[in-house]
Structure 1
Amino acid sequence: MDIIRAKDFTAERSWGAKEIANMNGITTRLHWTKEPYRWHVNDGQEVFVVLDGVVDMFYKEQGIERSVTLEVGDIFYASVGTEHVAHPKGEARILVVETEGSV
């Protein structure tokens, strides 16, 4: 059992994470960041939940770049093959559920 106060979590570097659970190869991790990630495609599906802060999520649909601003409580679902990149506006804390070892 563990209680995690997301607002209190920080990491030594942007996108540093605390692993919360690994359930049959699906990981749930809490990330802290203040810098953009990089364009990538995950090995599987990804669920991205903003717990604190604001994040601009850029993604491509049929080769066209789009974006959406995610606020606390918003969820971004990246299906298999969705190219995307997260750009926080200041500090953000994000819960990510994905296949173990995914980018």
Structure 2
Amino acid sequence: MRIVRSRDYTGARAWEAELIAVMKDATVRLHWTDQPYPWHVNDGDEVFAVLDGEVAMHYRDNGRELVALLGPGDIFYAAEGDAHSAHPRGQARILVIERAGSV
């Protein structure tokens, strides 16, 4: 058993992660960041839940670039192959659930 207080987590560098769990083929990680994450495409589905702060999630849909502002409690789902890039506004803490081995 374990309790994690996400609001107290701070990494030494942007997008540093604390591994919360590995469940069969998925990982659950708590990320801290104050810097954008580069555009990327995951090799599996990803669930991205903002716990603290705000994140401008850039994503591509039918050739158009769109942006959704995510706040605490908001969840972004990217299916395998969906291009996206997260841009925090200040510090943010994010829970990410994705295929084990994804970067």
Gaps of 5+ in 1: none
| Corresponding position: 1:84 with 2:68 | no
SS state at 1:53 partner: strand
* Cα distance between partner residues in 2 of 1:39 and 1:86: 8
- The answer for the alignment partner of 2:3 in structure 1 is 3
TM superposition score normalised by structure 2 = 0.98
**TM-aligned CA deviation for residue 102 of structure 1:** 1.1
Identity of aligned residues (%): 57
2:65 aligns to what? 65
Relative to its length, the structure with more strand (as a share) is: 2
Q: 3-state DSSP class of the match of 1:98? A: strand
CA–CA distance in structure 1, aligned partners of residues 64 and 102 of structure 2: 24
Q: How many correspondences in the alignment?
A: 103
What letter matches 1:89 in structure 2?
Answer: R
Please report how far the alpha carbon of residue 99 of structure 1 lies from its aligned counterpart in structure 2 after TM superposition: 0.2
* Match of residue 47 from structure 2: 47
1:21 CA displacement = 0.4
SS at match of 1:17: strand
In the superposition, the TM-score normalised over structure 1's length comes to 0.98
Moved over 6 A (4+): none
1:39 deviates by 0.1
1:27-75 CA distance string (max 9 Å, x none): 0000000000000000100000000000000000112100100000000
Query: Residue type of the partner of 1:3?
Result: I
